[in-house]
Structure 1
Amino acid sequence: MTTPDQGTAATPVPAEAPASHGHAHDSAIKLAVGAIGVVFGDIGTSPLYAFRETFAGHHHLDLDDAHIMGAISLMFWSMMLVVTLKYVTIIMRADNKGEGGSLALLALISRSVPSKRWSAGIVLMGVFATALFYGDSMITPAVSVLSAVEGLAVVNPGFGGLVVPLALAILIFLFSIQRAGTSRVAAMFGPIMLLYFLSIATLGVMSIVQLPAILWALNPGYALEFFLLTPMQAFLALGAVVLAVTGAEALYADMGHFGRKPIRISWLWFVLPALMLNYMGQGSLLMREGHAALESPFYNLAPDAFRLPLVGIATLAAIIASQAVITGAFSVTQQAIQLGFIPRLRIAHTSAATAGQIYIPLINWGLMIMVILLVMTFRTSSNLTAAYGIAVTGAMFIDNVLLTVVMFKLWKWKRWTAIPLLAMFYVVDGAYLAANLTKIPDGGWFPLLIGLIVFTLLTTWAKGRKLMMDRLRESAMPIPVFVASASNSAVRVPGTAVFMTSTPDGVPHALLHNLKHNKVLHERVVLLTVKIADVPVVVSTARFGIEDLGRGFFRVILNYGFMEEADVPDALSQVTGCGQTFRMMETSFFLARQTLLPSARPGMHIWREKLFAWMLRNAESAMEFFRLPTNRVIELGSQVEI
């Protein structure tokens, strides 16, 4: 288990097959529609601002036919190389028993590539990619909702003063309803996003037919000509062009919810065509009308009578994109807690039917505060796009490193096949990252700052946990010695005592303290360890490990996947082989609560030890985290130097 204060320890155990996600029970088309509603919200709302920022952003481009054709060509081939080839075709094959995302991939690599030479650096990169995700989770709702609501100013310039207040109201409402769960609202996501994509595709076609020559922009020669014509401008434009593929990592992260095939179907046959038709429509509009349409080429595609309804549809799409990111932040946080990178936090389940629908108050309100500050500070989506992109391109580049390990160590690809592909991905993502780094003075510093702070917190917690467990292990008494001596000297009382311990060896400190102060032992003493495996879901037959230590002592190990929640009373009710069945009213749970004393011992800097001690004090109680009955828990404290 964890100690009452710590996260959990990872261990390799058998996992459920990918079918445990339930994909086989739903049709591919139904899941594909669901994926359109959840997975593609972020990348789907990119047309609101991506093409505009390429020409009107912080690095202006000349608004002529060559640059317009070049920009569209870059967007199309970016989608083909980054989204279609890299993520949809290749990376989505690297699933951890059906689950995707940086942490799931990191767990897969750590389990399959045990070499010390690889593991330390790979873990740090995976953790940093996770840290960058939190920066992205703050910027996406702000930029998506702002860019959608800004359509009001296009409909009527007099509405300009309402944009920021209305965006703030929508965002505050969105975060405030998270505690109630989103299962009912989520059922509408698919139809709404279908309507949105159909609308933007139709508007794109209406514009393309007025200048069909824009279709030639799909020729990669125009992207090459763009770089040959104005190399520096083309390089800087990559910082805005990449906005067209933000959200690509969501395809991989949400794979566990919908499966690989439905996501591929919805991307290739619906989302990609709709996006490109809209981008080419915007390009056609700018080639025809020039600067008159540049304020918002997305909304100016629509006839006057349809602009206000389009604002409503786009705002709903932006809310859905924000909801997907918020839900993703909850899911990533739960994984990080289970894998031992974040202290235990209070997790509420908002659906009795769907285990994955969770709500984490601290993350929700923290994100809301940061999103509000972002909107009030930057005030326009154009200003916010300077901060947008660095987190995404940084995470994409790290995915290349993880993919390199997967290709060579797990899949055993031939070098002549893997190296050219990887080289192309490194060049493309490296160029996008470098172009975005030029935006650091204009707001790009924000996601980097958030990423650095979160990375420090995650690594401090993981390192501090390891140091504390090492210190506890140093003073642990061997179990056989304790059982032999304590059984002969202590008074035995009726009932069952469960002592929770982080390691499956040594005597728990809570047991030693209880014997020292109360001088009694229960008739049945269970040393319970909860282990979190590096797989999403543990097969039911591998849930329990039981060892009879003699004289009424038992060692029980409960195994869970990193996507599961540990419910100790429920698990104990299924345990056999420890004498009579467990009855909660006759069972007492003993927890050890450690108080840390920062010291000059080698391990971490004093400031990090103090940070770890603060995180430890504010971690969720083990009683609530493991769902222990409140009236059957006894906590015993001790002091530990690290």
Structure 2
Amino acid sequence: MIELGCRCHPGIPSLLSKKTWKQTILLSFQIVGIVYGQLSTAPLYVFGTMRGIDLAADEEVVYELFSFIFWTLTIISLLKYASIVLKADDEGEGGIVALYSLLCRNAKVGLLPCDRSANQVMLYEEKSSSKIKADSRARRAIEKHKICHYLILFLALFGSCMTIGDAVLTPALSVYSASTGVQRSLTDILKNIFASSQHTQDSVSNALKAYVPVPSACVILVGLFMLQHCGTRKIGIMFGPIITAWLLFVAAVGTYNIFKWDVKIIYKISPIYIYKFITKIDIPRWRLLGSVILCVAGSEAMFADLGHFSKKSIKIAFICLIYPLLLLCYAGQAAYISKNLTAPDFNHLSQSMPDHCKHLYIVLSLLSSAVGSQATITACFSIINQCLALNCFPRVKVIHTSKTINGQIYIPDVNWLLMIFSLTVTIGFRDIVKIGNATALAIICGMLVTTSLMSLIIALYWEKDLMVSACFLLCFGFLEAAYLSACLLQFHKGSWYLVVLLAVSMTVMLSWHYGTMKKYKFDLQNKVSTEWLIDISPGLGISRVPGIGFIYTDIVAGIPAFFSHFITNLPAFHQVLILVSFKSIPVPYVPESERYLIGRIGPKDYKIYRCIVRSGYCDHIRDTGDFEEKIIRSIGEFISIEQNDIESMVCPDERMIFVGHRTVDGNALVPLDDLDSSSMGQSQVNNESQISPVDESLESSSGCKKRKKVRFMLPHNSPKMQVSVRKELLELIDARESGSAYFLGQSHLVVRDGSNFLKRFLIMVYRFSEKNCREPPVALKIPHAALVEVGVICTI
């Protein structure tokens, strides 16, 4: 029995804490369908992407390639990923960004838009420093040279782009190869039916070639991407049994072919055959290795999808189920090919099927080919969501399909783009070999990135000897570099398409990161001190209007330039001001008790607060409708504990304190449900409707259930509450009842005259991406009527 676990949001109990055997079996289907779909359907195209003319020369070539497949699966999938890479998880999360996050915290190589003061305030450097046990020479060298920071970031983005490219190419490859196999199987069946008429056979064969592979592949691809909105759990329940049945079927057929065609094929796994292949190497034979690497397609998903399941479950499922069944399948296919070198299309999996199994093969291959693409699509969603948190991808809408399992997401815009590109590949190439060449290049490049980052993890995070890190890099890197050279030989035969995808995705990522960094540096250089706001208020005759003003800014110290520009021209601001900053730090999750960092700016009479909201790259905090209530409640908690918790101050100048809705002896604000309270008067209900008039209209227009509005009151019995605290809390409640306004700066990047072409091009791409973002800068369901946007020109 395979025990499966899931990575859940902190504070939410795991669904598997009390799992029965039925739940375990159900989740076993999910992991097979989601994580191992691509790896399980690789037999559809591994031998099929090899040119028959290169295989037909000698059966020894088939034996040598089978030996390569066995050892590649064993070394890369079993040894590298299942045994080593899975151990380098970032608090249960995997993937390229998880490795980059570990390096950011343990080698200080991060290039996130945070200044020194932000790092000190948010405390993630001090928190992670406990893991740094020794200041090694390698760590000092990497931290000292800025070029190393940029190189590591480039590797992380490059690996992310390879994941995106794999998500485009793998669906097209697996589905088209299955459709081609169906066409060949149907041709064989119909030839037997019309055995007496050669003319009819030719007509049927031509009709099937024209109307089966491409149209059926396109229909399956559209259906696959349309199912993505259902979420990982529902898809896993649907897809798990399909992949399980497929694996058992191909393993059974493989066992049948072994005994029928060549029982001694099991001895061909000897490394001697690899040596024979290398001694007779030439360019045509070396190109064949570009197809061999496809046998480990999906191994990267074992690590990338780690956030959905536990390490133990992924490892046990691979060792006990996936690995042996795949070896039986490849052995049976190699045995069939070695004895049928003169048959037409002998290297396609469909041809090795016994006649009485071809009908079942048609059904299972079409279904499993669609399922096999799920692992890459899921990994693509995860990697883009992580890049969003690290400001390396334009803002897109992320939908969390599970309320308990935090890693299960769906990104509509990315999903439809992947579908369009996959259809383009299928219709444009119409050739399994060309699509396979591009897919192989994406797979091996992603693996090389993981190998490079893992060697740094071994030295800097695990703190192993440099020789251990070098051995890991040389052993796995040398093998993968050999496969990379074979893939590059096929550059003109399909691999060039991956380079086009890489150029587009890398340009978007780099330009977004570059533009974000430039805007942040501009805000840092043009911010004004908090003393300026306090000192200038009497001189300008600034008036305080009722209500709360939320000022959203990226900086965590000082006053943003756009707000100083606003009050200089319009000398008035609200009774209560709250400066809100969202800061993503290189950790997967931030617990609720460490998420809100609250401080005071200036004297108490000014009622100006700062709220820093810390989040990890897997957290989703901006798509909640009660965010305003959470901030106000946190500030109420800060006011209540401020006097008695001086020791917890992070920054004495602004008196910052971590708050996490802790119990404060009944001295904080008490949330009161507006809809269930009978003590509230009609005037207060009217005030409530003024706070967020747009929310109700949106909810009524969408037909959703009306969201309850949270209001606050002081506790009835609070004898320990000081008079000054009670007064400030009452003023905060009154300000919220008067309504809220949201101030957001709109920085427009302008390139200075005389700038080079590269800077102009990056800024141009950034501005285009920013104008076409599907999500606002602050995705908090802000009422449009209460939003004030202040434009600022940033000249760089």
- Paired residue for 1:434? 485
Structure 1 residue 217: Cα displacement: 1.7
- Paired residue for 2:222? 172
Structure 1 residue 173: Cα displacement: 2.3
Quick check: 2:337–2:346 contact (8 Å CA) kept in 1? no
- Cα deviation per residue 1:533-576 (whole Å; 9 max; x = unaligned)? 21111111101101111311001001111111223336425413
The equivalent position to 1:139 in structure 2, one of 158, 169, 172, is 169
- Paired residue for 2:160? 130
Greater C-alpha radius of gyration: 2
- Paired residue for 2:425? 374
Unaligned runs of 5+ in 1: 1-14
Structure 1 residue 417: Cα displacement: 3.7
Matches within 5 A, 1:28-427: 31-56=27-52, 60-114=54-108, 115-117=143-145, 118-157=148-187, 158=204, 159-160=208-209, 161-181=211-231, 183-210=233-260, 211-230=262-281, 232-292=283-343, 294-295=345-346, 297-427=348-478
Structure 1 residue 30: Cα displacement: 5.7
- Cα deviation per residue 1:177-225 (whole Å; 9 max; x = unaligned)? 4345454333122222111111111111111122210111222222222
- Cα deviation per residue 1:123-144 (whole Å; 9 max; x = unaligned)? 1111111112221111111001
Quick check: 1:585–1:632 contact (8 Å CA) kept in 2? no
Counterpart Cα distance in 2 of 1:282 and 1:18: 49
Counterpart Cα distance in 2 of 1:574 and 1:560: 18
Seen in structure 2, the aligned counterparts of structure 1 residues 408 and 30 have a Cα distance that, compared at 3 Å, is farther
Structure 1 residue 267: Cα displacement: 0.7
Seen in structure 2, the aligned counterparts of structure 1 residues 45 and 66 have a Cα distance that, compared at 3 Å, is same
Counterpart Cα distance in 1 of 2:387 and 2:11: 21
Counterpart Cα distance in 2 of 1:594 and 1:121: 28
Residue identity in the other structure for 1:286? I
Quick check: 1:501–1:508 contact (8 Å CA) kept in 2? yes
The equivalent position to 1:449 in structure 2, one of 480, 496, 500, is 500
- Cα deviation per residue 1:7-64 (whole Å; 9 max; x = unaligned)? xxxxxxxx987997766565876654422111111111110010232353xx823453
SS in 1 for 2:767: helix
Quick check: 2:546–2:738 contact (8 Å CA) kept in 1? no
Residue identity in the other structure for 1:559? R
Residue identity in the other structure for 1:458? M
Structure 1 residue 414: Cα displacement: 2.7
- Paired residue for 2:696? none
Counterpart Cα distance in 2 of 1:605 and 1:62: 53
SS in 2 for 1:112: helix
Structure 1 residue 299: Cα displacement: 1.7
Counterpart Cα distance in 1 of 2:476 and 2:374: 29
Structure 1 residue 617: Cα displacement: 2.0
Quick check: 1:33–1:266 contact (8 Å CA) kept in 2? no
Counterpart Cα distance in 1 of 2:432 and 2:72: 22
Structure 1 residue 107: Cα displacement: 1.3
Identity of matched residues, % = 26
SS in 1 for 2:373: helix
- Paired residue for 1:565? 620
- Paired residue for 1:515? 567
Residue identity in the other structure for 2:545? V
Seen in structure 2, the aligned counterparts of structure 1 residues 419 and 596 have a Cα distance that, compared at 3 Å, is closer
Matches within 5 A, 1:470-619: 470-486=521-537, 489-549=541-601, 550=603, 551-567=606-622, 568-569=627-628, 571-572=630-631, 574-575=633-634, 576-577=637-638, 579=729, 580=732, 583=736, 586-600=739-753, 605-619=759-773
Quick check: 2:337–2:347 contact (8 Å CA) kept in 1? no
Seen in structure 2, the aligned counterparts of structure 1 residues 272 and 573 have a Cα distance that, compared at 3 Å, is farther
Quick check: 1:286–1:293 contact (8 Å CA) kept in 2? no
- Cα deviation per residue 1:128-174 (whole Å; 9 max; x = unaligned)? 11112221111111001111111222222233322111111111222
Counterpart Cα distance in 2 of 1:340 and 1:584: 35
Structure 1 residue 112: Cα displacement: 0.9
Seen in structure 2, the aligned counterparts of structure 1 residues 268 and 290 have a Cα distance that, compared at 3 Å, is same
Quick check: 1:547–1:556 contact (8 Å CA) kept in 2? yes
SS in 1 for 2:276: helix
Quick check: 1:51–1:279 contact (8 Å CA) kept in 2? no
Structure 1 residue 420: Cα displacement: 3.0
Residue identity in the other structure for 2:426? V
Quick check: 1:341–1:458 contact (8 Å CA) kept in 2? yes
Structure 1 residue 516: Cα displacement: 3.1
Seen in structure 2, the aligned counterparts of structure 1 residues 625 and 473 have a Cα distance that, compared at 3 Å, is same
Further displaced range: 560-569 or 256-265: 560-569
Counterpart Cα distance in 2 of 1:504 and 1:107: 22
Structure 1 residue 297: Cα displacement: 3.7
- Paired residue for 1:4? none
Quick check: 2:587–2:616 contact (8 Å CA) kept in 1? yes
Structure 1 residue 616: Cα displacement: 2.1
Quick check: 2:298–2:376 contact (8 Å CA) kept in 1? no
SS in 2 for 1:156: helix
Quick check: 2:452–2:473 contact (8 Å CA) kept in 1? no
- Cα deviation per residue 1:299-325 (whole Å; 9 max; x = unaligned)? 223222321221221222111122332
Residue identity in the other structure for 1:176? M
- Cα deviation per residue 1:415-454 (whole Å; 9 max; x = unaligned)? 4444333311111000011110011101101112211221
Matches within 5 A, 1:17-32: 31-32=27-28
Counterpart Cα distance in 2 of 1:16 and 1:85: 30
- Paired residue for 2:701? none
Counterpart Cα distance in 2 of 1:411 and 1:520: 55
Unaligned runs of 5+ in 2: 1-7, 109-142, 188-203, 640-728
Residue identity in the other structure for 1:552? K
Counterpart Cα distance in 2 of 1:415 and 1:336: 30
Seen in structure 2, the aligned counterparts of structure 1 residues 570 and 357 have a Cα distance that, compared at 3 Å, is farther
The equivalent position to 2:517 in structure 1, one of 466, 489, 492, is 466
Quick check: 1:569–1:627 contact (8 Å CA) kept in 2? no
Seen in structure 2, the aligned counterparts of structure 1 residues 574 and 313 have a Cα distance that, compared at 3 Å, is farther
Seen in structure 2, the aligned counterparts of structure 1 residues 218 and 145 have a Cα distance that, compared at 3 Å, is same
Residue identity in the other structure for 2:60? A
Quick check: 1:627 aligned with 2:682? no
Quick check: 2:594–2:614 contact (8 Å CA) kept in 1? yes
Further displaced range: 196-205 or 351-360: 351-360
Structure 1 residue 404: Cα displacement: 1.3
Further displaced range: 175-184 or 25-34: 25-34
Seen in structure 2, the aligned counterparts of structure 1 residues 19 and 523 have a Cα distance that, compared at 3 Å, is closer
Quick check: 2:31–2:236 contact (8 Å CA) kept in 1? no
Counterpart Cα distance in 2 of 1:170 and 1:490: 64
Quick check: 2:406–2:618 contact (8 Å CA) kept in 1? no
Quick check: 2:76–2:296 contact (8 Å CA) kept in 1? yes
- Paired residue for 1:8? none
